[in-house]
Amino acid sequence: MSLSLRYNSHTTAHAFAAPAGFVSPRAFVVIIMKFLHLADIHLGCRRYNVEERTADFFRAWSDVIARHALPNAVDFVLICGDFFNSRKVDPQAMNHAIIGLQMLKEAGIPVVAIEGNHDQHESDAVNRFSWMRSLSQWGYLILLEPDTRDGFRLVPWNEDERSGSYIDIAGARIFGTHWFGTSTNAAVPLVVDALRDARGEGLFNILMLHTDVEGQLNRPNIPALSISRMKELRALVDYVALGHTHKRFEIEDWAFNPGSLEACTIDEFKEERGLYLVEVDAAGRVTAEHSRDYTQRPFQRLNFDVSGVPDAEAVHAGVLEVIRLEARAHDPERDTTPAPIIEINLRGHLGFKNSLLDIPRLRDEARALTGALHIMISNRSVPVEYAVAAGLDSDASRQVRERRIIEDLITRDIRFRGRAHDMAALTLEAKRLALGDESPEKILSLIEQQLELAATQTDGAHATLTGSGDEAMHARTGAADEGELVASASALQAIERNALKAATSDG
């Protein structure tokens, strides 16, 4: 048990005039217990195929021990689930775990843990072994689990067997549960009944839970522990030590969730996360100080609107300009913090095919500009709308329908929008020639000639597209059709022949 004095700067002034230098005894609080509350350390977590990310989680874990656990000489450390990112722990993650646990063990600071959904063992019927249980057996931590062999019971810690559901340390009785998943609300009455039998009178009772809580989770489709259910524990528990949700929150200065030590994904980068340094005074009052004072990988999210941008090169240039103006640059010679991970979101309506964007080149140039550990390009733009021939008369002929469909498809591409009529006519003529067994070389020559001719046209000029032999495509002028080009009669006939051939071959 820790016995220390803490000056209470918030104590109100006395009514009488005190002598100079006098300090009221009530300005001091006797601290009988001090502990660190952690959760969701996720050792072994690796994201975005970046090897350095596994080191980030170890660095946060070891830095918290060095900066908070050891200097404050805490009585114990709580780990409220997901110590590991997976129940299948790789050797590097196990090394990272033992390094930190050994630091605490050498300082005489016990570590009390529960399993979370990521590192929970398989059912005992399948396999009663797990790495969390092994660490407990080896004396690196105290793994608390309810006894479910005959109902649901909370049993005292057995040092010989290195197992149990609760343990008394420094005036606290610490209870552990396991991951209940979607059954948490149904499990609370069982926990309440077990706590009534096991609660320590005259002790500071702590319950460790790994669960989502109503109103706090970011996954609305997953059932969470309701506030009303949680409050059933209020008369039995002095401090609820939560884990699972990767952001900080507190409920009525009684239930505390510190958040993960590191952001597991960039979607969490704005959430407040960290640890609680908790002090309990002789009257059982709790002071839980949340801290982010340790090394974390910085994240940044940038956005670029592609709407109205004419081509891929313009998007490329625009994104790089946003990076120059807004990105968090990293200088390894000057900066002591880790290099950032930056996500660039492309939003809006893209006026051309996604495949024209050179994402690898953009990523490489962005990384060169920023010195970031990793650049992610997320194309969340809405692709070109391919709803075509909208509003066309239902009695329109097959020829008219085909021409309109081709024009609409071409219009969706900003590069050819101004010449959609010409390009549609050229497409239909090329199809007619192909159906007439014209040589590929001649069709290609026609396409090249007409594209070249179209490039040199001025506004108001009308090109005459020359076909094979005596076939020709004719331009139609006039304000009503705005110079719309239509396929020649022979081309339309060829389309009809092709359609009839297809229809008869279908059987």
Query: Among candidates 130, 78, 117, which has minimal Cα distance to 245?
Result: 117
Task: Kindly state whether residues 44 and 178 are assigned to the same domain.
Answer: yes
Q: How far apart, in whole angstroms, are the C-alpha atoms of residue 112 and residue 142?
A: 5
* Rounded-to-5 percentages of helix, strand, coil across the chain: 35, 20, 45
CATH code where residue 92 lies: 3.60.21.10
Predicted pLDDT of residue 425: 85
Task: Kindly state whether residues 281 and 320 are assigned to the same domain.
Answer: no
If DSSP codes are grouped into helix, strand and coil, which group holds residue 505?
A: helix
Query: Among candidates 266, 165, 265, 257, which has minimal Cα distance to 214?
Result: 257
Task: Kindly state whether residues 286 and 348 are assigned to the same domain.
Answer: no
**385 is a domain residue:** no
**458 is a domain residue:** yes
Task: Kindly state whether residues 116 and 225 are assigned to the same domain.
Answer: yes
Neighbouring C-beta atoms of residue 89, cutoff 10 Å? 21
**389 is a domain residue:** no
Task: Kindly state whether residues 423 and 319 are assigned to the same domain.
Answer: no
Predicted pLDDT of residue 442: 85
The whole domain housing 427 covers 398-505
Which of 337, 352, 379 represents a domain boundary (last residue)? 379
Task: Kindly state whether residues 8 and 57 are assigned to the same domain.
Answer: yes
Predicted pLDDT of residue 399: 74
Task: Kindly state whether residues 147 and 259 are assigned to the same domain.
Answer: yes
**258 is a domain residue:** yes
Number of domains in the chain: 3
What residues pair up with 466 in beta bridges, in sequence order?
472
Cβ atoms 363, 377 nearer than 8 A = yes
**386 is a domain residue:** no
Neighbouring C-beta atoms of residue 98, cutoff 10 Å? 14
**36 is a domain residue:** yes
Residue whose tokens read 């239902």: 394
**103 is a domain residue:** yes
Predicted pLDDT of residue 2: 63
Predicted pLDDT of residue 391: 59
Task: Kindly state whether residues 222 and 133 are assigned to the same domain.
Answer: yes
Task: Kindly state whether residues 440 and 328 are assigned to the same domain.
Answer: no
Which of 320, 348, 379 represents a domain boundary (last residue)? 379
Neighbouring C-beta atoms of residue 110, cutoff 10 Å? 18
Q: Which amino acid is it at 169?
A: I
Query: Among candidates 309, 271, 307, which has minimal Cα distance to 380?
Result: 307
Neighbouring C-beta atoms of residue 462, cutoff 10 Å? 12
Q: How far apart, in whole angstroms, are the C-alpha atoms of residue 156 and residue 320?
A: 61
Which of 291, 307, 337 represents a domain boundary (last residue)? 291
Task: Kindly state whether residues 166 and 185 are assigned to the same domain.
Answer: yes
Task: Kindly state whether residues 56 and 83 are assigned to the same domain.
Answer: yes
Task: Kindly state whether residues 150 and 111 are assigned to the same domain.
Answer: yes
**341 is a domain residue:** yes
Tens place of pLDDT per residue across the chain (507 aa): 666 656 554 433 333 344 555 444 445 668 889 999 999 999 999 888 888 999 999 999 999 999 999 999 999 999 999 999 998 999 999 999 999 999 999 999 999 999 998 888 776 655 677 899 999 999 999 999 999 888 899 999 999 999 999 999 999 999 999 888 888 999 999 999 999 999 999 999 999 999 999 888 755 556 789 999 999 999 999 999 999 999 999 999 999 999 999 999 888 888 999 999 999 999 889 999 999 999 999 999 999 999 889 999 999 999 999 999 999 999 888 888 899 999 999 988 888 888 899 999 999 999 999 999 999 999 988 766 544 555 566 556 667 778 888 888 888 777 788 888 888 888 888 888 887 778 888 888 888 888 787 777 644 444 444 444 444 443 333 333 333 333 344 444 444 444 444 444 444
